[in-house]
Amino acid sequence: MTALVWTIPALPLAGALVSLFGGRRLGRRVHWVAVPAVALAFGFALAAFLRVWVGGETVTGVLFEWVVAGTFRAPVTLQLDQLSAVMLLVVTGVGSL
C-alpha cells in the first residue's frame, strides 16, 4: 500500500514531464500519454480511498530520510488518511476530465 501512495503523485508528474520534453516530437498525440497518466492516478487514488475508508487506517509512506543527526530523524513522508483520500479523489477526478 505504501508503494501505491507515492505512485499517485508520480504518475501525473511523469505525464507532465513526457508532455514537456516529448511534446514537440509527439505533436498532437501528446494527450495519449498525459490523460491516461492522470486517469491511472485516479484509479490508484480510488483503490487507496477504498482501503483507507473501509479499513479506517492511515497509510504512511516514507520517501527518503531528509535529516539524520544522531538519534534525530526527519523523514519525508506521504500520509493518507480519510480526509486526504477524499481530497485526492476530487483533485485527480477533476484533473482527469
Is 37's pLDDT higher than 90? Answer: yes
pLDDT at 60 over 80: yes
CA 73 centroid distance within chain: 24
- Closest by CA to 65, choosing from 74, 55, 52, 56, is 74
Greater pLDDT, 29 or 12: 12
Mean pLDDT, residues 64-88 taken together: 92
pLDDT value of position 13: 93
> Cβ-count burial of 14 within 10 angstroms (0-12 exposed, 13-18 middle, 19+ buried)?
middle
- When pLDDT is averaged across residues 21-49 and rounded to a whole number, the result is 88
Smallest CA-to-CA distance from 8 within 38, 35, 51, 36 is with: 38
Is residue 74 over pLDDT 70? yes
* pLDDT at residue number 43: 94
The one-letter amino acid code at 76 reads V
